[in-house]
Structure 1
Amino acid sequence: MGSATRTANATGASVPRSRADAARNRERILAAAREAFVVHGPEAPLDEIARSAGVGNATVYRHFPDRDALVHGVVLSVTERIAERAREAMEEEESPFEALRRYVRGAAEERIGALCPMISERFDRADPALDAAATRVEDLTRLLLERAQEAGEVRTDIGVGDVTVALSQLTRPLPGVATQGLAPFAERHVRLYLDGLRAPAKSELPGQPATLEDLRQQHCRS
């Protein structure tokens, strides 16, 4: 085989490998940034994020040119993962309630409540990528809830907005409390919440089931 052919083969093999390495680095950065943002908020030191990801600062900036781009990447990645968790739960669980339970616990593990404030503080709510991902989560959450209600496994006096609020509150760090040790407490309270969703209801809720439109109107007033 001639040297030109060997060079071409080597070059061709290196391109996919470089792309795979870049994709892995991006995922490492997003994972490290998610953990840092949950603990420290969106102003977490980028140097620490790079160190946790096992990459250099230049690699972080190559993928995410500034802090807002990194925050955007983390929020989008988490939102897309939550949507995927919802889809998998719906497809793989026979019981509609077990599908809803699996989804709620999965969303709690993603600590979406700790990341939600960053969306309203840093991004236009009309951001196309975030809007599409959020809409998918909303649609899947609604479908999971409705299926469980139709099966008689979940109380009928709640709406998808109630689930959304609960997920946000259950996974939001408490002021002055170290976030690293909150996971066991979050798991306990998620289970308490899920027990409260069961039908038949043990009490009558005040008001009407909350919709996502209710939440949006409250956000606009605040």
Structure 2
Amino acid sequence: MLYGSPPSRRRDALRNRAAIVQAASDLMTGVRSGPPMPEIARRAGVGQATIYRHFPDRRALAEAVVTYQVDRLEIVAATVDHPAAFRALLLEVLRRQVAMRSLVPLALKLEQGSRNRLQHRVIAALTGPLRRAQACGHVRADLTPADLALLFAMVHGATEAGVAAERSVDLLLDGVFCSPA
């Protein structure tokens, strides 16, 4: 999948779009504010005008990056079949959320329908591994898939408040996962 791009595009245009999304995704890791468009263009090996041909504004680019991240999550989550591996999967999701803190405010500005679709995809990707972990007693039984959205909101709040976001992730996970007997 090439992140919502129409199938009628030329092959080089598809490559450019994918390179832009990858560069933006890479550059949004670990920065507080979104990376400048010229830097995204440089990293993608395209001109700035090429970015704007594919993405008329930052919001459109943010939606493509979020979609790319969700696509990756779906692929990884589909391979998680061992119940104990859910902890590592959820940890990675929450750490990426912290690392890509500049993307979250842009994602929150997406159309409500887009936000809902993306959130539904994330929850759906995590539901199977969550249920398997619960069935084996690794995760508290009362955690619902919808609670995952609450966990994401809590980490976002900690990140926005400038408190120890990584520590908040550890504390959240300790509250979700059962202690070994």
TM norm. shorter chain > 0.5: yes
Correspondences of 1:32-181 after superposition (within 5 Å): 32-38=23-29, 39-42=31-34, 44-89=35-80, 93=81, 95-98=82-85, 100-111=86-97, 114=101, 115-120=103-108, 122-127=109-114, 131-170=116-155, 173=159
The 2-side partners of 1:72 and 1:154 are apart by: 31
Deviation at 1:57, TM superposition (A): 0.9
Contact in 2 for aligned 1:25/1:55 (Cα 8 Å) = yes
Contact in 1 for aligned 2:94/2:155 (Cα 8 Å) = yes
Return the letter of the residue paired with 1:199: C
Q: 1:88 to 1:73 in 2, by over 3 A?
A: same
Q: Which has the higher helix share?
A: 1
The 1-side partners of 2:139 and 2:162 are apart by: 35
- After TM superposition, the score normalised by the length of structure 2 is 0.70
Determine which structure has more spread, i.e. the larger CA radius of gyration.
1
Alpha-carbon displacement from aligned partner over 1:144-194 (angstroms, at most 9, x marks no partner): 2222112222222333344333345447745669xxxx9xx84x7655644
Unpaired segments ≥5 residues, structure 2? 1-9
Alpha-carbon displacement from aligned partner over 1:37-86 (angstroms, at most 9, x marks no partner): 451434x3211211222322122122223222212211221222222221
Moved over 6 A (4+): none
The 2-side partners of 1:45 and 1:200 are apart by: 44
Unpaired segments ≥5 residues, structure 1? 1-17, 203-222
Alpha-carbon displacement from aligned partner over 1:78-103 (angstroms, at most 9, x marks no partner): 222222221222xxx3x2121x1232
Alpha-carbon displacement from aligned partner over 1:192-219 (angstroms, at most 9, x marks no partner): 64444333589xxxxxxxxxxxxxxxxx
Aligned match of 1:199 in 171, 178, 181?
Answer: 178
Q: 1:134 to 1:175 in 2, by over 3 A?
A: closer
Contact in 1 for aligned 2:97/2:104 (Cα 8 Å) = no
C-alpha root-mean-square deviation of aligned residues, in Å?
3.3
Q: 1:131 to 1:196 in 2, by over 3 A?
A: closer
- After TM superposition, the score normalised by the length of structure 1 is 0.60
How many pairs align? Answer: 168
